Structure 1
């Protein structure tokens, strides 16, 4: 990370030191946040559209457009209206990965029922040790978190020896997430150069987000990709950012306002997120 050196008054430094002691925040974080606010830059901000609870209940109608998402981030993942495929956003480009295996650039007018985006600014980079399973990869990512209670963004780049991914099929009328993903398309690939985009959501945010790690992948030639169910790789570059500002765009549709979202979503999300075969 770049370093900034500047002179400040003694009274400002005293106030900064007191604020850090009282809040438990580092001086670096307070200064970065203050500068971001003053310059109107979204620093370490994760922007989420709708909630996992709404998606579990089958509220797949569009909430915002891809064009609106671009205003809040250039990096992220999600899905499209009707659960029509998986979304990945990388370096400002938004892609729709569909169940027939096709991948298309997502136009600004396309509608989105659920997504997470940020302006990715990694604070840490390294080459990961080889991993032979999804469990090993997630354990490596967990080992690099210093807390369970903050959101994180990761980008994983390199050549993956194996990738098992899925792409949600367009949902039928009145289907829930579990029902819709029961006929998801799953793909197995070997020797794939590509990039994974992912987020860690704290356990306390269940019902709002999808707890734990959520990863989407796209190949370097933009011909393969989806929601990651399994993988293996060697020499993979990890970039990670801690996201300490979370913003939620709540749907204002009649379906959302009338829905019963009080149920426990954990079992349904676990079923929907895992491999079917």
Structure 2
């Protein structure tokens, strides 16, 4: 074993059988994972070591610039966790993955189960295993909810997966509608549909991302809502509720799959997307 050039890690050189190596290569080709990630994940599970990986498809900068062409299918997304959020080709609705099942909230208010061949231009996923949990007695607004989740996060520099279950006194959310590739995100979300429900059971799910990662993800909280009957869902804008179960998971490993679509390869991703993301999110 030798010291790795990656802080906090060690380089490990081992011999494996041809059959194992061939199986590793086959899995990586099928899922897009690197051999390093696959081996680390397998060892972590076998040894009972927490190794929480957040898997990302594309970047927030690309989405801001209108790179909405699907680059990874739902079938492959499912191999990278049981929990996540994103969108679909041409920004056609909001994506949710809860307990291993993927849902597509459409602009007309309906929710469907997309086929494994449906594609996404942007997605975050993880294998959700809560590190900490708490009961939220009362929530009066989106800002109030964010402050209460903050109390369970342990660092401003780690990504955090968030799951909240309960009955919502009021939930307000929006759903993006299909647009032409190349439409910038602010313009695309200015035509979104808003929905509001009262006294509805469901789950809030998503991620908190550090400010330094604004070119990769949405800074702060990005949560989607899925009703308990899986008939309603979208990107959360406002919330009021009581007696909610909050669970958070620290993500200490980030893997990113970058698209090779013409739109991504030619896009100018050098700008700061934080302001545009804030407008689109809220």
Q: So what's the TM-score if we normalise by structure 1? A: 0.85
Give 1:56's match in structure 2, choosing from 61, 64, 69: 64
How much does 1:124 deviate?
Answer: 1.3
- Report the secondary structure of 2:204's partner residue: strand
- Cα distance in 2 for residues equivalent to 1:42 and 1:110: 31
Match of 2:279 among 248, 254, 271: 271
Unaligned runs of 5+ in 1: 1-21, 24-31
2:117 to 106, 109, 114: 109
Divergent runs of 4+, >6 A: 37-42
1:61 and 1:81 in contact (8 A); partners too: yes
User: How many matched pairs?
Assistant: 249
**In the aligned structure 2, how far is the partner of 1:41 from the partner of 1:109?**
33
Cα deviation, residue 174, structure 1 = 2.9
Deviation at 1:172, TM superposition (A): 2.7
C-alpha root-mean-square deviation of aligned residues, in Å?
A: 2.5
CA, structure 1 residues 41+80, in 2 after alignment: closer, same or farther (shift >3 Å)? farther
CA contact (8 A) 1:42 1:119 kept: no
CA distance in 1 between partners of 2:182 and 2:132 (Å): 43
Distance in 1 (CA, whole Å) between partners of 2:167 and 2:92 is 27
CA displacement, residues 237-263 of structure 1 (integer Å, 9 cap, x when unaligned): 011111100000001112211111111
Match of 2:14 in 1: none
Q: String of CA shifts for 1:34-58, please: whole Å, max 9, x gaps.
A: 9417669993000000000000000
Q: Is the 8 A contact 2:68 2:182 kept in 1?
A: no
Contact 1:197–1:216 under 8 Å retained in 2: yes
Q: Distance in 2 between matches of 1:180 and 1:110?
A: 20
Matched, 1:160 2:168: yes
Name structure 2 gaps, 5 residues minimum. 1-6, 9-39
Matched-pair contact (CA < 8 Å) for 1:154–1:199: yes
